[in-house]
Every structure is written in structure tokens, then in C-alpha cells.
Structure 1
Amino acid sequence: MASRLPLEPAAAPPLVDAPAFEAGRRPLDEVLIDIPDPAPGELAAESAAVSAALASLDEEEAPSEAGVAPPKERVPRVPAALFAVVGAGVAGGASWLLAENAGAAVVAGAAGLLAGGLGYIVGYLARRALAEETTLRSLLGRGTSDSLWTWVPARDEVWFSPRWQGLFGIRPGATTDLSRWLERVHPADRGRLQQGLDALASGTSRELRVVHRLTVANDFRWVDAHAVATEGAKGATVIAGSLHDITDRRKAEARLAHNAFHDNLTGLPNRAFFVDRLGHAVARARRNPRYRFAVLFIDVDGFKVVNDSLGHTSGDELLAIVAMRLKACVRPSDTVARIGGDEFTVLLDPVDGEEHTQAVAERLAASVHGSFEVRGHTIQTSISIGIAMSDRRYTDAQEILRDADTAMYRAKKSGKGGLRVFDIAMHKSAMHRIKIESELVRALERGTLTAYYQPIVRLDTRRIEGFEALCRVPREGGGMLPPVEFIPVAEETGLIDDILLRMLALACAQTAQWREQHPDLYVSVNVSGRSVRPALVGEVALALERHGLSPKGLKLELTESVLVDTASAGAEVVHGLADLGVGLYIDDFGTGYSSLSYMHKFSIECLKIDRSFVSALDGHRMPSIVETIIDLSNRVNARVIAEGIETEPQLEALRALRCTHGQGFRFSPAVPADAAGKLLALGDDLPWR
């Protein structure tokens, strides 16, 4: 049962040899300390059973006592609740308590409070213990988690706390000296520690701080050695200090450092690690023209399909297998890293040249190519590799990494399992792509991306029945970006979704306005395969509602590949669009898979014949593919629109084949909305009639 004991200042004489730089003093009758009632002659319980409520320390200077210099150091004002009791006991009939907080310490004794740095307080108490034969050394040794020690160099008198002896595996009561410590210090650290101890003993230094390794039970542990030198009662130097075991902290720091530069999934170095290592290689190559290295940028082919169809767990397992196989193919001097998603990089350091690099790349590709068993599924995979050779024109890691990425992109475009070495032509192409991307972003941000409308004409009457809305992006400095250039970039960068939203808004708003005078008019909008995602149905519905357009006024043009390659989730999207009531068109029909099955499955309303087939119609040749497409559309009750009609012979040939609708320069190019409105207003007086 703990009792609340007021410690009276009159219980014992003041602390002798009060340190010249004590930071603050307060009578103990203002402090209440809860400690267990000690048995006669025994020490109080250890710190776990002790709680303290110390008032904040005064920063004001205390009155000097006779023979004591004014305070020279101050302890910041710290709330008492932040102090933790690390020792308590009874010595000479008076109660003692030691509390510490982040290097600051307080000793509560019968004479008052003594506050200062922890190292100094420990040294002060140890000096008193040596001089007065008190039990304070034992008290401190039991109360703190550190391993404490004192040393009087003049007498080579050493004291080690029980915790210190336990750390070194020394039985209590055994004769000890500093050699028992030094012989267990790691050879690489021993010199620094010995130098510090010698400096304390000689008086050239008053404090020691050395982090070093100790051999303990055939293993190394990290400790923080801290000591201070003070003057004892008879003028002899007394050194007191502690060893704080920081092994767990060092391990935690090592884990954090490792995790900061390694990928958790594969265990490989991450982008930060790779870029740092690559930066050193670039700098070395600039200093030494004969030194050569290479960077390989690797992308796992078809990974998205695995992730989407089998789940992220299977995808992660596949990446781990790929990482292991890549790592097994390179030398210890090389670096394999995972820099994100399904992308890996390899630094070959050094290389003999391009031929050597390509041979390694082919070996890497062969190690991954083939079947993988992942969670009960057999997966066929391959990798696309881009290579960038070292060159003195590179000034940093990002430049050569960018070029390797560009080469990988080219390899991927050539087909799965491709391999390409970067060249200057690729650099120019990459710069052009970056410029196009900037133009797209600028047009979207400024709202200058617009829609042009090409008339869709009924061939027998040559009247306008609808329009195809085509995206137009103004080029900085004038003119328009060609769609053949900006659409691939938009798809690669993900900007295609933003473009589609803009086109839906423009087309729906304009069509709703036109339908006030022409109620049967419709407008078609192209949808990229990359935009066929669950959110699309809601986006289309919102555009229709926001602009007050009937679903019958909007047609969506999809490619054959989208309908054939669409997984179950994508099929739900297409069905959802049909359920909205919008018409579904197949664009560029005949260039891909051409199948009746998906036409029935998705309620296709119209087939659009690709312009490449129309251009072959000159009145003398009738490509069978055109006739087949038209016949197929009639069998499934779908309309046909021929694209790219430029001449009258082409028009007549299509009519002879019973094609019902068409568009092209024979009628009109795509024009701005106001010009398209003027064409509608002409009625039967259209220029091509």
C-alpha cells in the first residue's frame, strides 16, 4: 500500500558539493511523492511501483549558497507529468528519487530538488556514492534500464551496475575492469571508444558519446555509450556513464531504410534506389569515356488482363515470379528493380557493348516467356524490353531512363515480346508526343477542344439525316492537331476519357438544339475501347439528362475489337448503353473480326464501312467485301453507312450495292457547328443534290 509522504527539508542536511551549474532548486515540502513504504533498511520498490507528480521546474535563478557559484545552465520548463521515475530508495535515513525525461533529470532528496542533464546527475550521485559509501549506486543500477558504470582513473577503481554485468554475461561479484568492456567491443569501433575514454581520463574532454557494437552471446548488439567526467571529493577525476542498448532501434532504422528503397512485394530495389544507382553510373560514364553501361526498361505483356480477370492477388503473385526470374539472369554487379505496377528496370553495369546488352535482354525475355501456374491458373506471358545504351550526352539518370522507356513503348507497339534499342529518331518522336500531350491538356483546361460535324447523308435522297461529331484540337500558333496524331497519345495518357466527356457534352447540347427544328436528327460520337468502363453508362446518361436530349438523338460508335475483346465487365457496359436507348454503331466494320454473333448479342443498329474499302470503288471494281458487309447488314436488319465517299463513281457504286447511307468529302468535310447548322437550314437546296 503506497503512502503519500511529504519530504521535509529539515529531515537531513543540504546536499553537499552541490554542482556549480545546477539548474534549479525547490523545497521538497512543495512536492508530494508516492512511494511504497520501505521495509526497515531496505530499498524502495523499483520504478514500476513508483509514480511522481513533480511541479514544473523553475527557470528562475535560485539564491546562491555559500561557496556555490551562481547557476550557469538552465533546464527548460517541463511539465512534471512528462518525467518518468527511474530510481527510488532510502539512503542515510532520507528518501531519494531520480526522474528523467529526454536527457533532463531531477533528483529529489531530503534537501530539495537538484535538476540538470541526466549524465551530470548520474555522475554527481555516483561521486557522492564513492565519497560517502551510500547505497545510491545500487539504487541507480536497479532503477534505470541503462547499464551504468563509474571509473576513477587515478585508482583504476571501476564499478559496473548489475544490468551492465548482465549485458556482458559477467556473474555478480566477479572482478571487473575496463578491459572486460573493451575486449567485447567490435574491432572497428574499439579505437574510437578507447580514444574517448583516454580523453576523459586525461582531462582533455569532459564528455563521451560513442555508438558502438558489442559482442554478446556470439552476436553483435548496438549500444550508445555516454559518460561525463567530474571532480570527486578529494579532487580526483570521477567518470560516470551509461550504456544504452539501441539494437532494436538500429534494426528498426535498418528496416525503415530498407523499406524506403525496396519494393515490399518483390523485395527488389525500388525506383528511388534504382535512380540513385543509375545516377552514379551516369556520372562515372561522363568521367570515363571507356566505361559503358546499359538500362533495360521492361513491361509485362498482358498483365492488366491477368489483374482484371483473376484479381490483384494473382497479379501480385505473377509479378513476384517475374521478379525472381529476372534477378536470376543477371550478375551481382547488375541491379534489377521494380519501379511501379508491372514495370521493371535493369542496370547492366558494366557492358561490353550493344551486342552484349541485347544478348542479356534476350536471356531475360526467354526466362519469362512461357506458362506460369498462378493460383490454379495457367498464364501465358512475355515481356517487352526497351534498351538505352550509356552515352556522355546523358547528364542525369532520368534522361536515360526516359529513353529506355521510349524504346520499350516502341517494342510493345511492334507486338508482345518485342525488343528495341533506343535511337535518336525515337527521341524526336517522344518529344513530339510530349508536345501533343501538352496541347491536349491545354485545350481541355482552356475549353478550346471543340466538335466539328460531318453530315451523314441518305444516298437515295441525298438529304442530311445526322452528323458524326469529330474532335478537333487547336494547335498552339494556329491550325488543328491531326486526329491520327493526338488520339493515340490521348489513349496512352488516359486523356481520352476527358475528351469523351467533353465531346458528349458538346454533341448532346448541339443536337438538342437542332432537334427543335429537325426532330429526327441524330449525332454519333466515337468511343475509344479504353473508355468502355463501368462509369461510362452513368456519364452518357448524365450528358443526355443535363442537355435534355432524347437517347434516340445520340449514337455511339464502337470498334469491332471492343466488342470482341470485351470481358464480362465490359459486356455489361455495352448492354447498359443499349438499355439507355442510345444507338450502337460499329465503326470501321470489315477491318477486324466481323462476326454475326456480337451483332445479335449487343443489338447493333448500324455498320460503318471503312473508307479503305470505299476508296477501291471506282465504278469498275466492286470489292466483294463491300457487298458482303451490305448483305450482312440486311440479314441482321442493320443500317449501313459508307465512310470516305469522295467521288461520284464511288457514290453510284454504293447505291448499286444497296448501301443506304454515306459520308465523305463528296458531300461535305467536317465543319464547325454553325456551318453545320447552315447546311441543315438549306433543306433541299444542299450543294451536292
Structure 2
Amino acid sequence: MDYRINSQALPRYLVLGMVGTVAVLLLVIIGYLMAANYSQREAQLQTLEAEFDAALHAQLQASIETVREQASFVFDRAESILRQEAREQVNQAHSIASALYRRERWRLPDSEVQALILAALRDQRFFNGRGYFFVDDGKGWSLLSPVIPSVEGTNQLEHSDPLMRQSTRAILDTVANHEGAGFVSYDWYVPGGDGAKAQKITYVRRFDPYGWILGTGDYVFRIREDLKALVLDRLDRLERDGQTFLAVLDGRGKVVRYPSITLPDGGVRAVQALQDAGNLRPLLERSQMSSEGFIETRWRHPVSGELAPVLLRAENLPMADWVLVSGIFPEDAGQQLQQQWTQMRDGLRQNIYRLLVALGVAALITLLLSLVYARWLRRLFRQYQSSIDRSQEALERNSRQLQLSARVFEAAREGIIISDAGNRILAVNGAYSQITGYVADEAVGRDPGFMGSGRHDKAFYQKLWQELHRDGHWQGEVWNRRKSGEIYPQWLSISVCRNAAGDVENYIATLSDISEHKRVEERLSYLANFDPLTDLPNRRMLEERISQAVALSRRHPEIGFALLLVGIDRLEYINDSLGHATGDRVLQQLAQRLRHQVRAEDTVFRLGGDVFAVLVQDGHSMFEVAGLARRLLKHLSEPLRQSGVDLVMTQSIGIAAFPADGENVETLLSNAAAALHHAKAQGRNRSQFFTREINDSLAQRLQMEQALRQALANDELSLNYQPQYRLSDGALIGCEVLLRWHSAELGPVGPDRFVPLAEETGMIGAIGHWVLRSACLQAALWRAQGLEIPVAVNVSACQLTPGLVNEVAGALAETRLPAGLLTLELTETVLMQRQDETRALLHELRALGVGLAMDDFGTGYSSLAYLKRFPIDKLKIDRAFVHGLPADGDGCAIIRAVLEVARHLGLATVAEGIETPEQHAFLNGIGCEEGQGYLFARPLPVDAMTDLLLAARAQEVEPALCQGSSR
């Protein structure tokens, strides 16, 4: 026999070797698979049993913890609930009394109105029938006491019971505050308690028309008893939603709540074993002694009637004086475990049968195919290498695609979960672990529901799965729980993957943490409705509240309201001098003061800048609103300590009332703002109700503003000139430029009216530029005529900017006027603003050669430090000090002091408003150098001023000619 391996014999040897090898391998594989399958099933069963026991313990513990958390939450709120409901009831009683008083006081005597109010409150009941209203006359005399009628008409301050006297005195002290309301806590007799006492909380409120005290209250333990029913009701829902049953015992062992279990048909049956409280006592004692707190025993099952294992856990709830028992019948929860074991056993048998059948079929097919296989194997070998090459290329491509998919899967910033058709997790990516805190080994094989937060009910998930299977995808916002226990919001998107037959193969879910997005939304919502500096509601909230108040007042015409706009006077000076941080702290303190001065039902808002608003509701009369405004002006102006300085901030208040001053949001706000503007215009630190005269004044102001905007274009502005004289010899030495406006629409308008308007609207810049240029041009024209005279131009605070230097230089260059003939006059208020910048700016102006004068000296801050700090040439003494000379001793002393300081500092002095020869003589006698006023000349138009200059020059020439002829 030829044993050489060649192309003919090789297929035959391969066939024989393959058949023998396959047969041996089949036997080995079958044996191995059978053993491995059996071991695997045993291990799975043990794991299932361990997980089942742990799940039962966790389920009992979770039910205990859930009840504990709910009970703690409910009982901790008992006192706050009592306070809130007592306040609401008393406020309602106050509203009833107020409505009856407003309705009947004009028609009936006070005694009948009082009786009507007491009758309306007598039968009012609440707090599950326990609550009632009591009324005191404010001096200790009881007017209404429904549960103790015998004390009505008696003075409770003189009652024989010291507890009655103490509680009455506490109530009177509580309403003595400025709000006239508050809570009182004291011990009082428990009805039917044989003299026992318990804590009682009462809310009282003063009824101002009669000086009464309205009040009600209840025992804190009564509210807790009411809340126990709420906790027991929640136990019913917890019991229906799970397989555990719950029992509650009081501190004496008496059963408060009997447990029950839910039957498969939806019915409920009681657990008879717990009907006897004594049956639980030894179990509870064992539970306390056990380290784990779990008890295993046997009870008769409510459905089967047979003795069955039961697992119990008992814990004390001291807050309710309860003992909570949670239990479960493991056989009810173990049906799934039994079903899985049966499936595993049947699967093992079927696997063995299939393996045996497969072995026989494989052996038969191997023998039959070996004959055919030998014929085409030779041809197959020839193609083998090329096939290997193509396969290798395909494998490499698939490998690259799989690696790319894996990188994409891991690199995704969103968490990805892939689960099978049974919704068991197959794989998760790294982003999932970063978001949830669970690594892959902790998540794979589990239902994603283990991350649930408990915030979504069963209906939510039912709807989710319905939409998912109907549309093939679902996305939305859900709340889940991290491994750390933190509950967080996430955006979840789930897609269904189906095979060619349409069956579900996988679910793919992507999730992202939107906690930061939620925080941003909440912050934006807060910023949209509240002022972040003062934490007060903003203008948007004010408009909503006004709209609500308007709607309420239209339904109940007797209920009106008022709107107060509170403007902080001169806050900008605090910002400029002490900094914006100090200004912000001032606003925060003023906001706190506003909160403390208004009632609980009134609301304080901040509209931005230096304006607050107070919405006064509940139909207050205008006298009460005026009193509130006076109280706000008083308390808000108390000194504030900031940056080591005591600041006194004054306020202006504008008031508009509904419906007299407007029937909608826009009108009320507009009219209140108009009243505020009027209060500021009248000198600030005052309140002002809106009137039709204010409306007319605003209309006139708007008309003036519109006309002033056209004044330059229509050539309606002109300049007058106030001559200035040397007091010693009466020589004309200069003039002050004064702006005048003759409107084509309004006629002559005084500068005291239109100059502040121009500064407020920003038109002063263009007007000031025109005045400066026109004054320089006229001075240059006089100079060309040989009438050289200095001109003084007033500069507004709004013009004092770095651009002023270029503006002055440009005007001098354009008109070719020497800088020495131009003086700029500034007030002390102007110099106060931005002192460092102002000092640098004045030095630049001095460098141009122009003169600088301080106008109205003595009427502002009058600090001598300004005279040293700023490059001033001249002081102008205000007319207010000149008016009473020489009879006004104080004025004389002040002017002498100013002149003495000016002489030491080398400053020229000019007195304004000289109207009498006596004033002239006195000022000249004490050394004042220059003056202006009606004694010498009134402000003159340009032609009259030119004539005056010509006359002055002629007087100068005539003495000179006379002297020449005498020689």
C-alpha cells in the first residue's frame, strides 16, 4: 500500500482523520456541555436564592424606611401647618369683619355693627370642628368665646385662673407691635383631660376700627393626631403597591392598624395572624434582641390557609409613639424563583436530548458526506489560499469597523445602555459610568429600573412603553438615582432594534445629565421674576400682581389697592463718592427696612436703579396709605452705617390708587411715576398722591421738551449779558453770559425751567456748545470793534467731560478770541462729582489760559478744601448772602470770612445780586472787588450791551482828553 501523501491520497486521509476526530470531539463536547450545564444551573439557582433572600430583606427595610421618612416629614410640619392654618383663618375672620364694618358702619350704630360681626364669627368652625374664633376688646374683656360662653362679658385679666390671666396678657402683648398681629404659644387645658395641659399655638390680629383682637388656635398634639390619619392612609397605598403588609401598634401594644395583602384577583384579605396583638409581643422582643432586626417564623397564610414561612421586621417610630411591623410571605414573592428553577431543569433535559440527537445526525451526515467530500476537496484546496486571503481581508475590515464602533461607543459623551429583548442590560459605555456612578460590572445583567428615583408613578412608565413599542422610539425627561443616592434629572432617548421578522432584539438608550441645565433654567426663572441684588420681586412680578389685584377688585368693588413708588434721593452721589459696592449695600439695607415696615399681605418690589414699589392691598383707605408713606419716609431716612460713615438717605414717594388713578397696569404705573417725579421736583423727601394737576404738569413738561428739541434748529435761543463792575470805581470790567429762550409755541421760558430739563434729557451738551461758541464769537466781534471785555460762561455738570477741553480750545481757535477773555463758571456741586477727574480736567483748561470761577459759593458744600484742591481764580458770592446786607449780621460775618480766605489764597471775589447802594457801600468797604446786580444793570441783549460798552469806552476817553488839555 502506498502511504505517500500526494494530491490524490491527501483528501482520503483527511476524510478518515476528520471522521474519527469529529466523532471523538462530539463525545467529549457532549459530556463537557452536560457537566458544565448542570454546574452552571446549580450555581445560578444558588445565586437566585441568595438574591431572593437579600431582596426580601431589602424590601422590608425599604418599606420601613419609606414609612419613617413620610412620618418624619409629616409630623415635623405639624406646628408649621397649625401656624399657617391659624393665620389664614384669622385673616379670613379679619376680612369678614372688615367687609361688614365697611358695609354697615354708615347705616347702623356701632353697637349693632359689632353685634353683627360677632354673630357672623360665632358659628365658624374649622380644624375638623375643633377650631373657633374668640374676640377680645383689646383690654382683656371677652366679647366672643363660643366654647366657654360663661367668660363673655368678663375681664380675663382679673380671672381667678392664673393660666387664663397669663394667656390673656401674652395675647395683648403680641398685638402691641407695629404689625398688630403675631403668634402666641402657651399651655392650656385639654378638653376632657381632667385638668391636663398641652401646648397650644394661637394667632391673633388687631381689628383697628374697634381695637378688638381676633384670634384662634389649636393644640399641636391635635394636629399631629390629624396627621396620623394621613400617614395611615399612605400606608394603605404602600401596601397595595407592593407585596409587603404593614401593621402599626401604639406604645401600649394595641394594634392601631391591621395589615392585609392583595389577592391575585385584586381583592384584599386581612392577615389573621396579626389580629391578636399579643402574638406580636414576643416577636417584637426578639426583633429588638436580633442584630439584624429580622424575624423568620410561620403563620397561617390568608389565601391558602396553610402554615407558611413569614419574614418580619419591626422598628419604633418615636415621633408618633408607634411600633411599625413590616412583613412578607416569601412564597408569594418566590413564585418567580420557582418558575426560573423549573425552566432551568426542563432546559437541562432538553439540552441533553438535543445533544444526543445531534451526535447521531452528525455521525450519519459525516459518513455520507465523506464520499462526496473526497471528490471536491481537491478543487477546494486549490481555492483555499485565495479564499483565505479574501477572508483575511474581510476579517481585517470587520475588525477595523468593530474597533471604530467600540471607540465611538466609549468616546460618546452621552451615556449609552444596550439591553436585550427582556430589558436586561448587555453593555454600557464609560459616559454611563461617569453619569450614574455604576461601573459596567454593576449594571450588566440588571433591569435599568434599579436606577429609578421613585418620582415617577406606574402610569408614567406604562405610557413610556406604549409609545416606545408604537413609535419605535421615545425620548423625554426623567429623574433617576445615582449610585451615591443622589436623585438627578436626565434626558433619556430609547430606540427599539428589531430583526427581519419584526421581533424586538435590543433596546438602545442614550442618557445625559441635565442637572446643570435645570439649574440654569431655575436661575433664569429667578432672574426673570426677582431682583438679584435685593431678592425682591421685579417689575415683571409687579405687573402680574397689579393685574391680579385689578381682577380681584373688579369682582369685589369694596376691595381696592394702592401703588407706592419709592425713589431713593441722590443715590448717584453715594455711588460716585463711596463706590457702587457701597451703593448696593445701601439698597439692600433699604429693601430690608421696606420689608419690615409693610404688612404681610403687602408686597415690596424693586423696579431697578433707585426705585422700589409697594403694592398695598386689601382696600386700605387713603388716610392709611398716607400714614404708611409717612412711616416709610421716617424709617427709611434713619442713618445707615456704611464704609465708616453714617449716611442719611431721603426718599420721595409717588402714590396712585385703584380705580381713581387708573384701571390698568400701564396707567397706574405711569401715574405713580408721575407723582414720584413731582415729589422729587418739589424738593424730595416727601410723598405725593397723583392728581390731575400733576398729569397736566407732565403734559406741559413733555410739550416743553418737544419744543426745546427744536429750539436750536428754529433759532429760538439767544444770549443776554449781565454786566460786572469794579466796586471801588464803578468801572465796567466784564459780563456774565445768560441763556434765554423765546419759544414760538410756548413764548418766553425761564432758564430755571428749561435748563434742568435740558440737563435731564441730555440736550445740554448741544445747547452748551452753542452758548460757548456764540459767547466767544460775540466777544471776538466786540474786540474787533475795540471793545475788549472778558465774558463768563456757565458750565453744567453734564458738560464736564474730557471733551470739554477740546470744545473750548476749538471755540477759541475758531473765533480767534484770546483765552484770557473767557472765564468758565462752575458750581460747587459740579466740583463734587468725580473729584480726581474734575481736578485734572480743570488743570487742562487752565493750561489753555481761560479763567475758572466758582459760582454760587456758600450755597453748596462750601468746603475750603476745594479752594486749595482746584485751580480756581475767582469766587462768586451767592445773592442769598448779599440780600440782607448790611442789616443781616450773620450774612455780614459769612461774607467777611469768605473775603478773608480769598485774600489769603489770592482769589478775586465777585458779589452777585447787588440791588441797593447800601449793599454796594458795605461790600466795597470790606474789600469785595467786583459785583453785579440790578443796582448796576439788568441782563441786556447784545445790542444794548454793545451800547453800554461804547458808553463805557467814551467815559474812559473823555477824562483822558481833559487831562491832556490841562497840560
Same fold by TM (over 0.5)? yes
Once the two structures are TM-superposed, the CA of residue 210 in structure 1 deviates from its matched residue by 2.0
Decide whether the 8 Å contact of 2:604 with 2:612 is kept in 1: yes
The answer as to 2:471 corresponding to 1:471 is: no
- Match in the other structure for 1:235: 502
Please give the residue correspondences for 1:196-235 in structure 2 after superposition, counting only pairs within 5 Å: 196-201=464-469, 203=470, 205-216=471-482, 217-229=484-496, 231-235=498-502
Alignment equivalent of 2:523, drawn from 255, 258, 265: 255
After the TM superposition, which of the residue ranges 461-470 and 300-309 deviates more from structure 2?
Answer: 461-470
Please give the residue correspondences for 1:184-333 in structure 2 after superposition, counting only pairs within 5 Å: 184=453, 186-187=455-456, 191-201=459-469, 203=470, 205-216=471-482, 217-229=484-496, 231-237=498-504, 240-272=508-540, 274-275=542-543, 278=546, 281=549, 289-327=557-595, 329=597
Once the two structures are TM-superposed, the CA of residue 482 in structure 1 deviates from its matched residue by 1.9
Cα distance in 1 for residues equivalent to 2:880 and 2:577:
35
Once the two structures are TM-superposed, the CA of residue 282 in structure 1 deviates from its matched residue by 5.4
Cα distance in 1 for residues equivalent to 2:715 and 2:458:
70
Cα distance in 2 for residues equivalent to 1:632 and 1:383:
32
Residues 1:139 and 1:429: Cα distance change in structure 2 (over 3 Å): closer
Cα distance in 1 for residues equivalent to 2:720 and 2:669:
39
1:300 is aligned with what amino acid? I
Cα distance in 2 for residues equivalent to 1:654 and 1:374:
45
2:503 is aligned with what amino acid? A
Please give the residue correspondences for 1:373-392 in structure 2 after superposition, counting only pairs within 5 Å: 373-375=641-643, 377-392=644-659
Alignment equivalent of 1:552, drawn from 804, 820, 831: 820
* Alignment deviations for residues 445-473 of structure 1 (CA, whole Å, 9 cap, x no partner): 77754423345567999886544322123
Residues 1:591 and 1:178: Cα distance change in structure 2 (over 3 Å): closer
Once the two structures are TM-superposed, the CA of residue 507 in structure 1 deviates from its matched residue by 0.7
Once the two structures are TM-superposed, the CA of residue 367 in structure 1 deviates from its matched residue by 5.3
Once the two structures are TM-superposed, the CA of residue 494 in structure 1 deviates from its matched residue by 4.7
Decide whether the 8 Å contact of 1:231 with 1:237 is kept in 2: yes
1:525 is aligned with what amino acid? V
The answer as to 2:940 corresponding to 1:670 is: yes
- SS of the equivalent of 1:94 reads helix
Cα distance in 2 for residues equivalent to 1:684 and 1:343:
57
2:518 is aligned with what amino acid? R
Decide whether the 8 Å contact of 1:470 with 1:670 is kept in 2: no
1:146 is aligned with what amino acid? G
- Match in the other structure for 2:771: 503
Once the two structures are TM-superposed, the CA of residue 403 in structure 1 deviates from its matched residue by 3.4
Cα distance in 1 for residues equivalent to 2:706 and 2:554:
32
Please give the residue correspondences for 1:351-390 in structure 2 after superposition, counting only pairs within 5 Å: 352-358=620-626, 360-361=628-629, 364-365=632-633, 368-375=636-643, 377-390=644-657
Residues 1:214 and 1:606: Cα distance change in structure 2 (over 3 Å): closer
- Match in the other structure for 1:62: none
Once the two structures are TM-superposed, the CA of residue 511 in structure 1 deviates from its matched residue by 0.9
Alignment equivalent of 1:172, drawn from 433, 442, 459: 442
Alignment equivalent of 1:162, drawn from 425, 428, 434: 428
- Match in the other structure for 2:795: 527
Once the two structures are TM-superposed, the CA of residue 317 in structure 1 deviates from its matched residue by 3.4
- SS of the equivalent of 1:209 reads strand
Decide whether the 8 Å contact of 1:404 with 1:422 is kept in 2: yes
Cα distance in 1 for residues equivalent to 2:686 and 2:765:
28
1:210 is aligned with what amino acid? G
Once the two structures are TM-superposed, the CA of residue 384 in structure 1 deviates from its matched residue by 0.5
Decide whether the 8 Å contact of 1:162 with 1:172 is kept in 2: no
- Match in the other structure for 1:452: 720
Decide whether the 8 Å contact of 1:296 with 1:385 is kept in 2: no
Residues 1:427 and 1:336: Cα distance change in structure 2 (over 3 Å): same
**Structure 1 unpaired stretches of 5+:** 1-89, 100-107, 110-135
Alignment equivalent of 1:442, drawn from 692, 703, 710: 710
- Match in the other structure for 1:419: 687
The answer as to 2:780 corresponding to 1:512 is: yes
* Alignment deviations for residues 390-442 of structure 1 (CA, whole Å, 9 cap, x no partner): 42464664543343334334444566643333333333323333333333333
Cα distance in 1 for residues equivalent to 2:648 and 2:521:
38
Alignment equivalent of 1:94, drawn from 357, 375, 398: 398
Cα distance in 1 for residues equivalent to 2:395 and 2:828:
93
1:233 is aligned with what amino acid? A
Please give the residue correspondences for 1:55-70 in structure 2 after superposition, counting only pairs within 5 Å: none
- Match in the other structure for 1:4: none
The answer as to 2:752 corresponding to 1:484 is: yes
- SS of the equivalent of 2:613 reads strand
Decide whether the 8 Å contact of 2:787 with 2:950 is kept in 1: no
Residues 1:94 and 1:594: Cα distance change in structure 2 (over 3 Å): closer
Structure 1 or 2, whichever has the larger Rg, is 2
Decide whether the 8 Å contact of 1:557 with 1:586 is kept in 2: yes
Decide whether the 8 Å contact of 1:555 with 1:582 is kept in 2: yes
Residues 1:289 and 1:158: Cα distance change in structure 2 (over 3 Å): farther
Instruction: Return the TM-score normalized by structure 2.
Output: 0.47
- SS of the equivalent of 2:784 reads coil
- SS of the equivalent of 1:172 reads helix
Residues 1:348 and 1:476: Cα distance change in structure 2 (over 3 Å): farther
- Match in the other structure for 2:414: 145
1:388 is aligned with what amino acid? I
2:879 is aligned with what amino acid? D
Residues 1:249 and 1:506: Cα distance change in structure 2 (over 3 Å): same
Instruction: Return the TM-score normalized by structure 1.
Output: 0.63
Residues 1:609 and 1:143: Cα distance change in structure 2 (over 3 Å): closer
Decide whether the 8 Å contact of 1:450 with 1:473 is kept in 2: yes
Residues 1:472 and 1:347: Cα distance change in structure 2 (over 3 Å): same
Cα distance in 1 for residues equivalent to 2:596 and 2:714:
50
After the TM superposition, which of the residue ranges 241-250 and 395-404 deviates more from structure 2?
Answer: 395-404
Once the two structures are TM-superposed, the CA of residue 354 in structure 1 deviates from its matched residue by 3.7
Cα distance in 2 for residues equivalent to 1:265 and 1:197:
47
* Alignment deviations for residues 263-293 of structure 1 (CA, whole Å, 9 cap, x no partner): 4444444555555555555566567645544
Residues 1:505 and 1:281: Cα distance change in structure 2 (over 3 Å): farther
Cα distance in 2 for residues equivalent to 1:143 and 1:480:
77
Residues 1:449 and 1:282: Cα distance change in structure 2 (over 3 Å): farther
Residues 1:678 and 1:371: Cα distance change in structure 2 (over 3 Å): closer
CA-based RMSD of the aligned residues comes to 5.0
1:514 is aligned with what amino acid? W
* Alignment deviations for residues 504-544 of structure 1 (CA, whole Å, 9 cap, x no partner): 12111211121122343122222346656676566544433
Residues 1:592 and 1:228: Cα distance change in structure 2 (over 3 Å): closer
Residues 1:419 and 1:144: Cα distance change in structure 2 (over 3 Å): closer
Decide whether the 8 Å contact of 1:587 with 1:607 is kept in 2: yes
Cα distance in 1 for residues equivalent to 2:476 and 2:714:
61
Decide whether the 8 Å contact of 1:527 with 1:556 is kept in 2: yes
1:172 is aligned with what amino acid? E
Decide whether the 8 Å contact of 2:654 with 2:677 is kept in 1: no
Residues 1:534 and 1:331: Cα distance change in structure 2 (over 3 Å): farther
After the TM superposition, which of the residue ranges 524-533 and 304-313 deviates more from structure 2?
Answer: 524-533
Higher relative contact order (CA 8 A, sep 6+): 1
